[in-house]
Amino acid sequence: MSRAHVALGGNLGNPAERLNRVFAELDRLPHSHLVQASSLYRSAPVGHADQPDFVNAVALLETSLSPYALMHELLELESRHGRVRSLVNGPRTLDLDLLLYDHREMQADHLTLPHPRMHLRRFVLAPLLEVDPDCVIPGRGRADLLLAGLDDQAEVHYLRPPALDTGFLALCNLGRGMVPRERGAWPLPMPAAS
């Protein structure tokens, strides 16, 4: 099985609710399962400022799909959630980007690995490090050092999960099967220590 890191984002509808549903849908992709889901983060839009803030996250998957097959599944998932590609960096219901696939480096017509701008985006690196603290981006270096070098970029804000019992969150994070799949079993983010 290969490891794939997928960025999730959106700013239309109820993006936080949508991203939590998408975590469960990622866990149901063929020949794949969700290993870990990051917390949700709010960030200002990049490019067109006249739109709502984005909610972002990162999912770590294990998959036997090829990078192209996985990207196809991600595009289908975007489409099922009403994604319309009319304006570059414009508002969207759901944006899914394949950030990393194992340690592969590749450049093709419709897929570049690692994602070509991920090292420049705090809203990608912060949740990425949450699911993979030792992440190294091929050709760029350690993600933690890249994030530390982005002091001048717009901030991202951690969004606390809904008021759920900490014990329940801990049980969910222990592994798959704690909650029936039909109800959306996926790792939930642990609340930050107070």
Looking up tokens 């798959």, which residue turns up? 176
Strands 95-101 and 112-113: unpaired
Report, as residue numbers or ranges, the catalytic residues.
Answer: 83, 92, 95, 97
- In contact, 25 and 77? CB cutoff 8 Å: yes
Distance (Å) of CA 94 to CA 67, 83, 159: 20, 6, 18
125/111 Cα distance (integer angstroms)? 19
